[in-house]
Amino acid sequence: ALISLRQLLDHAAENNYGVPAFNANNMEQVHAVMQAADATNSPVIIQGSAGARKYAGSAFLKHLILAAVEQYPHIPVVFHQDHGTSPAICQRSIQLGFTSVMMDGSLEADGKTPSSYEYNVEVTRKTVEMSHACGVSVEGELGCLGSLETGEAGEEDGVGASGVLTHEQMLTDPEEAADFVKKTGVDALAIAIGTSHGAYKFTKPPTGDTLAIQRIKEIHARLPNTHLVMHGSSSVPQDWLKIVNDFGGDLGETYGVPVNEIQQGIKYGVRKVNIDTDLRLASTGSIRRHLAENPKNFDPRKFLAVSTDAMQRICEDRMDAFGTSGQA
């Protein structure tokens, strides 16, 4: 059944688990997430970005989710809008049937320029008022993540949308977070704790301090009833990176957020963990390999099936690691 983000994350908080939120743009991604949920008995968050709506078309995206709910009636599904850039966009998503929206007021309506705190409070408060009247949950964002422009080429750590920032400037301030939630009434809050979007997060292998765990603890202590969200949470699996490059790809050396650090984050209050890039890498790697090894195949179902399978394995791994498995 379709449920709201608040319903799912309240349960996650009571039972100390996290939920991966996977971006979906097409049937194969929805299949992968739902097959993994079915295999592990997990509730799911499937999120659609503006890019997903543009790619698939709003009606197709909506009906892919409705099909998922019809085929897997025992799996709770949150249909979440990722990175809405205005209250009007969130309103349209509510009309379309999303059960949760993200009002990302950390950026102006162009989705690029960092906004003022006052602007963020105002657009988010408006969105909460409208969404809650419809039973829809709201995720806000406070802090400075890497570039959201393309979702492809992320930025180096230390480089945000407005240029080079210090590590401290990149982190969400706990005082401000408390004030923001008080003024807006958001159900969930995306915080900046060292991650950025896309495949190119870090240039060096992780050394155990990728995430600002202390900062998560401080924010959670002030906001025990607000569910914390981590964007840019792909782990950038080195095995998939290698497969992409072994079969004709050209991706540079790069590292993501280690799963064991995400587990630490969940221990201290993170409930929603956004993952897009990892599914892209698994999909591309598996398709490149399949086509290289099966040069006579021209039936797209064959390479799309290996892609679905590769993405499903990532989904299951994250559901197991985050404690989502068994919670449906």
Q: Which does 43 bind (CB under 5 to 8 A by kind): ligand G3H, Na ion, ligand 13P, none?
A: none
Q: Which partner in Zn ion, Na ion, ligand G3H, none is near 90 (CB below 5 to 8 A by kind)?
A: none
Shortest gap between Cβ of 274 and Na ion (angstroms)? 6
Cβ proximity to ligand 13P, 277 vs 308, nearer residue: 277
Give yes or no: 82 in active site: yes
Flag whether 11 is marked binding: no
Give the residue nearest to ligand G3H (CB): 151
What does 31 interact with, of Na ion, ligand 13P, Zn ion, none (CB < 5 to 8 A by kind)?
none
Of 10, 82, 187, 309, the active-site residue reads 82
Q: What DSSP string describes 163-219?
A: EE--HHHHSPPHHHHHHHHHHH--SEEEE-SS--SSS-SBSS---S-SS-HHHHHHH
The SS3 of residue 110 is coil
Considering only 80, 201, 231, 280, the residue that binds Zn ion (CB under 5 A) is 231
Q: Tell me how far the alpha carbon of residue 109 is from its chain's centroid.
A: 20
User: Taking the complex as a whole, how short is the minimal distance between the CB of residue 183 and ligand 13P, in angstroms?
Assistant: 23
Q: Which residues bind ligand G3H (CB under 6 A)?
A: 23, 49, 51-52, 82-83, 148, 151, 197, 276
Rounded-to-integer distance, Cα 319 and Cα 328, Å: 11
Alpha helices (H) in the chain, listed in sequence order: 5-14, 27-40, 50-56, 58-71, 87-96, 117-133, 167-170, 174-184, 213-222, 238-246, 259-267, 277-293, 300-322
Residue with tokens 């999909």: 283
- For residues 218 and 153, give the distance between their C-alpha atoms in angstroms, rounded to a whole number: 30
Is 233 known as a binding-site position? yes
283 is known to lie in a ligand binding site: no
From the list 40, 49, 64, 82, which residue makes contact with Na ion (rule: CB under 5 A)? Answer: 82
Q: Is 141 marked as binding a ligand?
A: yes
Nearer to ligand G3H, 25 or 137 (CB): 25
Q: Quick one: which of 102, 148, 199, 270 contacts Na ion (CB under 5 A)?
A: 102
Angle between helix 87-96 and 58-71 (nearest 10): 50
187 forms part of the interface with Na ion (CB under 5 A): no
Q: Is 234 annotated as a binding residue?
A: yes
CA distance 115 to 248: 40
How many other C-beta atoms lie within 10 A of the C-beta of residue 141?
Answer: 26
Annotated ligand binding at 277? The verdict is yes
Binding-site residues for Zn(2+), in ranges, read: 83, 104, 141, 197, 231
Q: Which residues sit at the interface with Na ion, rule CB under 5 A?
A: 82, 102
Catalytic residues: 82
Binding-site residues, in ranges, read: 83, 104, 141, 197-198, 231-234, 274-277
Binding-site residues for dihydroxyacetone phosphate, in ranges, read: 198, 232-234, 274-277
